[in-house]
Structure 1
Amino acid sequence: MTTLGSATADPGEVDTGRLTVGETRDGSPIGLPVCVINGADDGRTLYMQAASDGDELNGVGVLREVVPRVDPSELAGEIHIVGIVNYHAFQVAKHRNPIDDTKMNRAYPGDTEGSSSERIAAATFDVARDADLVLDLHQGSTSRMINEARVRCGRRHRLHQKCLELAKVFGAGHILDQKGPDGQLARAAPDEGVPTIDPELGGSVGFDEESIQIGVDGVFNVLHYYDFIEGDVERATQTRAKSFDQYGSPAGGLVDFHVDLGADVARGDRLFTVTDPFGTRKAEVTADSAGVFWRTRRLPQVASGEYVCSVGTDIDSY
């Protein structure tokens, strides 16, 4: 028998329930939606979570496609899932937890006696540290971004190669292999010996079906490769970036991009121009380094110094 919160499943069964992580302002219990899939045969444990940032919904879209397609009678091992991590932010469609104005994916490993976000992080980290593999499903917030998988433990970490292998197997097409900020699950869980990646499934307002499908395919690649479910994985070459160049706007105005997401750029290539509302050009920005056009803001209006786009640099194939 396996249990997660109020969800309990014997071998060959699936169950859903709630994981209590605190109380709302009126004293009602907060329960994160959870699912356990207990395979008929023994094997590894995979932990997946989504909506650590409350407006990043593609991961939720992935889970609602994956769970009905996994037959526990054909599964070896267990899958533990928290479907919506950032409960408060999800309710109001915001990125950060409005109770403590915290970005959830900076709160790991959490604190059972801490802030709202720290308590949620502690509860979900307990689930993650008991797994053999972790997929923390994200997207590029509501920016425009390519599909990628992030390896955040750092290239000198003892689990780096295992995390990189997991990202390669997931197969989003691009990998960011760069040590992440303190408090990310994909940094904290490898310190506990659990290979963890942070798939960033595009960027959208609401669901993006193409990115969701890439996520669904990625989850099943992992399930096949690590012997949860029988099947072969056709492993494709991934483009890996080891760092970013980020570009702000030299002037306020309206942005026009001259490069498509995912395109290769050379040093000196024009990335974007800024005009006033009447079409007069105010600034032009070119690439400082060769790389891949990785991410952009969604809305065209910018103030001087405001973030506009990112180029993934130090590129190779893996």
Structure 2
Amino acid sequence: MTTRLGTASAGPGEVDTGRLEVGETRDGSPFGLPVAVINGEKPGDTLYLQAASDGDELNGVGVLQRVVPQLDPTEIAGTILIVGIVNYHAFQVAEHRNPIDDTKMNRAYPGNESGTSSERIAAATFDVAKRADLILDLHQGSTSRMIDEVRVRCGKRHRLHDECLELAKAFGCGYVLDQKGPDGQLARAAPDDGVPTVDPELGGCVGWDEESIRKGVTGVLNVLTYYDFLEGKLDPERQTRANGFEQYGAPCGGLVSLQKDLGDEVTRGDTLYEVTTPFGEPKETVTADGDGILWRTRRLPQVATGEYVCSVGTDVDSY
């Protein structure tokens, strides 16, 4: 059976690309999101992939750029639906939020087809996502520095929590954040509609990072193998899971010197960072409030009082 997504149309064993029209730009020109359909020669489930929900998070686009040419539809069971760039307007200007309505796209789901620019894009992509049996929403930690991890955002009491956690484990970045996310995230909205969803957070960088993209490509192929889109067998490896976050801000202004690297284990009382003057004079030393893993840090060394510096993943276990 032929599968369509926007202007893309693919019969069994075919691939096609096209556009999903979602509105007009300020000069009245129509615009559409880049989409692809990979229709497997054999029947099976449907996977939905999307990237660049936040316009400066490009590693997911890098994953799609590399993984799609590797997929032979004659060897696939099922269908893969892809929206390559969700936050069209932010992507064009390399910004995080949609500049048309100053909205973070991943707070707009399930969207509103008669709403703001972001709500309309969210509604259009959510309609596609609901056609799937599984969803991967490819993200990164914006332009901060962050470990490669997968986020389960539905909450531990959600009826699909175990399925989402299984999907995160199959992706296999090595780290999982299992914490209920904010309203409006695709990884919150889609499970409410019955579709297991996770958002891989593929590092954090300016532009894109080849190592994080490589892990993302491997993760997508892992999911395709584990869920029988591709032939083969995958035994997911144990993942390190954080069940919470502690964020640390600067107690004063100055220059930050981190004393731990991303992924390092920290124990209560360990020095996380020091703040100095431009001449290296010590001002403050910040220590960990509890045990965990250094998960994310700011990229620039200069800080003002109260400005974000780093995050520690807490309540850590493995599964």
What SS does the corresponding residue of 1:49 show, helix, strand or coil?
strand
Deviation by residue 1:256-304 (Cα, 9 ceiling, x = unmatched): 0000100100001000000011111111100001000000000000000
SS for the counterpart of 2:206 is: coil
Distance in 1 separating the partners of 2:285 and 2:12: 61
Provide the rounded CA distance (Å) in 2 between the counterparts of 1:184 and 1:252: 33
Provide the residue aligned with 2:6 in structure 1. Answer: 5
Matched with 2:174 is: 173
Structure 2: how far apart are the matches of 1:93 and 1:228?
34
Aligned to 1:277: 278
Letter in 1 for 2:218: D
Corresponding residue for residue 139 of structure 1: 140
Partner residue, 2:103: 102
Deviations 1:177-208 (A, max 9, x none): 00000000000000000000000000011110
Find the counterpart in structure 2 of residue 81 from structure 1.
Answer: 82
Q: Which residue of 2 aligns with 1:255?
A: 256
| Separation in 2, partners of 1:43, 1:284 | 55
Shift of 1:232: 2.0
SS at match of 1:181: coil
Q: Could you list the per-position Cα deviations for residues 139-167 of structure 1 after superposition, in whole angstroms to 9, with x for gaps in the alignment?
A: 00000000000000000000000000000
Query: What is the alpha-carbon distance in structure 1 between the residues aligned to residue 160 and residue 178 of structure 2?
Result: 13
* Structure 1 counterpart of 2:45: 44
Deviation at 1:314, TM superposition (A): 0.4
Partner in structure 2 of residue 22 of structure 1: 23
Q: Which amino acid aligns with 2:206?
A: V
Residue of structure 2 in register with 1:92 after alignment: 93
Q: Which moved more, 1:195-204 or 1:234-243?
A: 234-243
The one-letter code of the counterpart of 2:133 is D
CA distance in 2, matches of 1:152, 1:119: 22
Matches within 5 A, 1:1-318: 1-318=2-319
Distance in structure 1 (CA, Å) of the matches to 2:187 and 2:166: 14
Letter aligned with residue 115 of structure 2? G
Task: For residues 15-57 of structure 1, give each alpha carbon's deviation from its aligned partner in whole angstroms, at most 9, with x where no partner exists.
Answer: 0000001100001111000000000010000000000000000
Matched residues in 1 for 2:116 and 2:66: separation?
A: 32
In the TM superposition, residue 233 of structure 1 has moved relative to its aligned partner by: 1.7
Q: Offset of 1:231 from its aligned partner?
A: 1.4
Kindly provide the amino acid, as one letter, of the partner of residue 83 in structure 1: G
- Give per-residue Cα distances to partners, 1:192-227, cap 9 Å, x unaligned: 000000000000111100000000000000000000
Q: CA RMSD in A?
A: 0.5
Identity value in percent = 75
The one-letter amino acid of 2:170's match is V
Partners of 1:173 and 1:92 lie apart in 2 by 32
For 1:233, what is the secondary structure of its paired residue?
Answer: coil
Query: TM-score, normalising length from structure 1?
Result: 1.00
Equivalent residue letter for 1:254: L
Structure 2 stretches lacking a partner, 5+ long = none
**Offset at 1:235?**
1.7
TM-score scaled by length of structure 2: 0.99
Query: What is the aligned length?
Result: 318
